[in-house]
Amino acid sequence: MMNQSGADAGLEVRLRTLRILWAVFLTTIGLYVLVTVSARPSADELAEGGRDNPALLMALAVAGLSTVAISFVLKRSFYARAAERGDPAQLQQGFIIAVVLCETCVLIGLVGLFITWNSYAYALFVLGALGIALHFPRREDVAATYYKRP
């Protein structure tokens, strides 16, 4: 087992790493929005394209919502196991899996937007961003893997 100062240093490094990853994942959503704004076809092209498909967008919304919901279930499972075993690496794996699943929701929205150009696809961007925001790495969660309680 690490001494107290070594565990504190490891905890701080792990927490900083998780928070940097969290910020990067949120930033990529902003970049996806910039891509969609710059790639959006003109109103004339949208009118003649006839690409609006609400059923497809609804199916993509269900898939996106499912990935965000699953991210919370998996994160809770990984965090509980990591705290039980005192394994910070497993906590980090759970965190990464959770935010990647939320990012998947955003990518599903991106695909839906490129297929239909329906502005409701941006709701998946918001849902994914909200999921990532709620996965903010907390010190208590990380500390639970470094300091096992009797």
The structural domain count of the chain equals 1
What is the pLDDT averaged over residues 80-90?
A: 95
Q: Is the pLDDT at 7 greater than 80, yes or no?
A: no
Question: For residues 61 and 124, what is the distance between their CA atoms, to the nearest angstrom?
Answer: 7
Question: Which pLDDT band holds residue 4 (cuts at 50, 70, 90)?
Answer: low
Query: pLDDT tens for residues 106-146?
Result: 999 999 999 998 999 999 999 999 999 999 999 999 999 98
Q: Where are the alpha helices (DSSP H) in the chain?
A: 4-39, 43-49, 54-85, 88-116, 122-134, 139-146
Q: Which domain holds residue 27?
A: 4-146
Distances (CA, A) of 74 to 2, 15, 78, 80: 28, 19, 6, 10
Question: For residues 131 and 22, what is the distance between their CA atoms, to the nearest angstrom?
Answer: 11
pLDDT at 15: 97
Q: Is the pLDDT at 1 greater than 50, yes or no?
A: no
pLDDT at 50: 62
pLDDT at 131: 99
Query: pLDDT tens for residues 106-115?
Result: 999 999 999 9
Q: What is the overall mean pLDDT for the chain?
A: 91
